[in-house]
Amino acid sequence: MTRPARPARHARSAPTAPPVSPARLAALLRGLRPSCGPVRLVGVDGHAGSGKSTFAARLAVELGGAPVLHLDDLASHDALFGWTGRLSTQVLAPFSRGEEARHEVYDWTRRAFTRWRALPPAPVVLLEGVGAGRRAVRPQLAALAWMDMAPSRAWGRGRRRDGPQLREFWEGWTRAERTHFADDPSSPYANFLVRERPEGYEVREGPAGHP
């Protein structure tokens, strides 16, 4: 049986452990126990626009090319957070057996699932997206990283990135995200907090402590 991430042990005003680099974080992740079959599944969660995809790409490089599963590929316009069944049957179940996963990929322009993607049961696989640390997924995670950015700042960045043509989508998204995290927060269960700095990323121990 896999070990779920631990909840916050006690309240504290700021992490006390020294920060580590993405390269050091990669080394720590490689040393964790597998959490889903032979895979160390690592969640990268945070508010939309907080830089999850960019950080996951950087971490994947530090891990020697670790696969990255983007939850945007499993979600859809009609089910922004209704992807847990697809993740479980198409990815987690095969990984638990040590098998290659194949999952559907949603096309946000055509508004349909249009192709399939293969995902190997690598030593470390990154699961990136809003809700990657939700309660239905946490038991299968070896560790959870949270992008430590206020929602207002993250959403502002996302809106600027996507432009005015997606204003209506963002209005619906922010309502859905608020509802999701109010019911199923991820940040209290984060093992690592990731902050963007001008000189690069700063990774500190999160509320749940080292996995």
The pTM assigned to this predicted structure is: 0.89
**67-81, 112-126, 154-168: lowest mean pLDDT where?**
154-168
Q: What's the average model confidence in pLDDT over 114-130?
A: 98
Residue 177 predicted with pLDDT over 90: yes
Residue 50 predicted with pLDDT over 90: yes
Q: Residue 9 in contact with residue 206, Cβ under 8 Å? A: no
Q: What's the average model confidence in pLDDT over 33-59?
A: 97
The letter for the amino acid at 127 is L
132 pLDDT band (50/70/90 cuts)? very high
Residue 199 predicted with pLDDT over 90: no
CA dihedral of residues 156, 160, 166, 169 (deg, nearest 10): -10
2 pLDDT band (50/70/90 cuts)? very low
In the numeric block, which tokens belong to residue 7?
């909840």
Q: Angle, nearest 10°, between helix axes 151-162 and 167-183?
A: 150
